[in-house]
Structure 1
Amino acid sequence: MSIKHLLVIGLLSTITYGQNSVLSFKEKLLLKSNINTQTESFSVQDNGQSILVNANNTYRLEVGANYKFLGLKIGFSPSNKSSGLKSKFLNPQLNIFIKQWIQSFEYRKVQGFYQETNAQELAEFPDLKTTSWTGTTSYVLNHDFSLKHLTHLTEWQRVTAGSFTPTLHYGFNRLSNNIDAQKVVENSFDLSIAPAYYYTWAFKKYWFISSSIAPAIGVRFTTEKSNDNTQKDTFITRSLDLTFQFGYTSETISAGARFNFDNNAVNKDLKQSMVNDKSYASLYFGYRFNPPKFLKQTVSNIEDRLGL
């Protein structure tokens, strides 16, 4: 092959690389960590009054790893040592990436809640516990936009672009508590659809700013059990999730900050609804490197068997 042909091939490769709006890092192993101020809160009935209780955690830690089409993450939180109330939090998550699809399965368990009274004391609800199994299925419509760049750090979006991302949420939640010496259990199944929209501004090669809006509407089926009494209800749910994110991305590292505002409401009838607003911030850092040979071989065998 002549030098002229080599130059032409090199030029075409450079042009193609320069036109790629999204660069994939699926051949790299990503290790990431995250710290955020998100807390768990519920509205509960106490002596005929509805009160808001919170888990006694000041922040949450998350560590995870992504490689090719798989991602694993686990979240945990130390209790607030300034209070005698201990809150337990555990949150493992499995993520699957296939082309424009992102599939997530999550388990969450939180126990130990409190309420701040007017006397600046903590009213304890140590028996209040919530356990949930949830799933999320998302599809990115625009191939020039990368949701994985923002949420899983496995890609790099290098040009400004946005996309609608229809998302289906579903899951089972079990809420239990001891009230007046009797155990009360509420089981609920939730199903909702969110036509989310994301937009990312890429600038100065490595930096970006992104925002999103995700209104959702759905249905909740609940079964509440107390002693021999059982009550079943069906509610309409609605929510609004707003995010703002900025960060830095290169071939080896990703770092940034994310701010969320969530509004959730459950319509109990036409005249009454329960609303829960919360906002939180998070800092994240990810590092990419070549995977060890045993991991590369194992995942390749899985891909071959699944035909991925």
Structure 2
Amino acid sequence: MKQALLVVITFIFTSSYAQDIVDFSNKMLVKVDFNKQSESFLITDDGERSFIVEANNVYKLKCSANYKFLGLSINFSPSSTHGNNQSKFRNIQLRVFLKQWLQTFEYRKVQGFYQERTNINTTLAAFPNLKTTSFTGSTSYTLNDNFSLKHLVALNEWQKSSAGSLVPTLNYGFNRLSDVNETGKYFQNNFDISISPMYYYTRTIKTNYFVTGGIAPALGIRFSNEKSEHSNASYSFVTKALNFKLQFGYTTNSISTGAVFNFDSSEAKKASARNFVNDKSYASLYFGYRFDPPPFLKQSSKWVKEQIDL
């Protein structure tokens, strides 16, 4: 524990040295991500038998565009992992960059889940009506001006020297889980809020290459309402989460490319008929290209900036 604390303190002090960050906010950025991230749930029948169900659209493609202080991403799944067992997936994310602040809003919908395959000869139990819809947001602030979160997330900056920073983040959102089966309708509405003292450190290698490590513990509370044909219960409980991130990348004036590895774990201290299961590891590959924006976009951005005095 003492050694880990010493490492963190060392990172904080070494990140305070002056360094240069190149701003690309005047450039238009288009970005493509290819990732393998699944969404799964823990199903409990009568409090006795438990099993995991997953959506089949494991492989996802995300297309993003960033310009000035705005970013938009659309995420979709081009394939299914189990033939005719289809899952529907929609995901849209809006990002706002204001100096050291990063604000995100996200809409996500997944429908069609199947029992996790434990044996190649196992017939997958289908839950075609099991659906999750969520509206979430996060507000982050980078404490160290010499560290660029935009370099990692939005690719509209280039951090040329090693630095790290604490990035306190407030997460909040609403998630609705619903299902229809032979026993009737089931609904679960969850309101979540949590705080995460994230820490990132970027080590640059020969200016263009970098490797970043990040850790993000989170502690929060969930307010939940669970309804079925025969019951209606409301409760609140503590949630815990831990995320490790490792990112490798290459940056120039025109391109940014790299790979991101995420290791996620979450815990909710409440027994329920449907529980989120997020103990997942996944990776993504990305490629971004910057170019001069079209004239109409420049003029529109200038007008918006003048109206809201950014």
Aligned residues: 287
Determine if contact 1:267/1:274 at 8 Å carries over to the other structure: no
Unaligned runs of 5+ in 1: 1-18
Comparing 28-37 with 224-233, greater Cα deviation is found at 224-233
Determine if contact 1:79/1:87 at 8 Å carries over to the other structure: no
| Secondary structure at the counterpart of residue 260 of structure 1 | strand
| Secondary structure at the counterpart of residue 268 of structure 1 | coil
2:214 pairs with 1:212: yes
Q: Match of 2:34?
A: 35
Residue deviations 1:181-237, cap 9 Å, x none? 301000000000000000000011210000100000000000011136310010100
In structure 2, distance between residues paired with 1:47 and 1:220: 23
Q: Residue 240 of structure 1: CA displacement?
A: 0.2
The alignment-based identity, stated in percent, is 54
Residue deviations 1:136-181, cap 9 Å, x none? 1000000000011011101100000000000010000000012333
> Counterpart amino acid of 1:186?
Q
Q: Match of 2:306?
A: 304
| Secondary structure at the counterpart of residue 125 of structure 2 | strand
> Counterpart amino acid of 1:141?
L
Comparing 54-63 with 118-127, greater Cα deviation is found at 118-127
Question: Residues 178 and 274 from structure 1, CA distance in 2 versus in 1: closer, same or farther, beyond 3 angstroms?
Answer: closer
In structure 1, distance between residues paired with 2:123 and 2:267: 28
Question: Residues 290 and 151 from structure 1, CA distance in 2 versus in 1: closer, same or farther, beyond 3 angstroms?
Answer: same
Larger relative contact order (C-alpha < 8 A, sep ≥ 6)?
Answer: 2
> Counterpart amino acid of 1:153?
L
User: Aligned ranges for residues 1-308 of structure 1 at < 5 Å?
Assistant: 20-48=19-47, 49-80=49-80, 82-115=82-115, 116-118=117-119, 119-227=121-229, 229-268=231-270, 276-308=278-310
| Secondary structure at the counterpart of residue 122 of structure 1 | coil
In structure 2, distance between residues paired with 1:24 and 1:36: 27
> Counterpart amino acid of 1:62?
K
In structure 1, distance between residues paired with 2:276 and 2:242: 14
In structure 2, distance between residues paired with 1:294 and 1:282: 33
Determine if contact 1:79/1:88 at 8 Å carries over to the other structure: no
| Secondary structure at the counterpart of residue 279 of structure 2 | strand
Q: Residue 81 of structure 1: CA displacement?
A: 5.8
TM, length-normalised to structure 2: 0.89
| Secondary structure at the counterpart of residue 161 of structure 2 | coil
Determine if contact 1:29/1:67 at 8 Å carries over to the other structure: yes
Task: Mark the structure with the bigger radius of gyration.
Answer: 1
Q: CA RMSD in A?
A: 1.6
> Counterpart amino acid of 1:44?
I
> Counterpart amino acid of 2:249?
G
Q: Match of 1:14?
A: none
TM, length-normalised to structure 1: 0.90
Q: Residue 20 of structure 1: CA displacement?
A: 5.0
In structure 2, distance between residues paired with 1:151 and 1:93: 12
| Secondary structure at the counterpart of residue 27 of structure 1 | coil
Comparing 80-89 with 180-189, greater Cα deviation is found at 80-89
Comparing 277-286 with 79-88, greater Cα deviation is found at 79-88
Determine if contact 2:39/2:278 at 8 Å carries over to the other structure: no
Determine if contact 1:117/1:123 at 8 Å carries over to the other structure: no
In structure 1, distance between residues paired with 2:46 and 2:130: 16
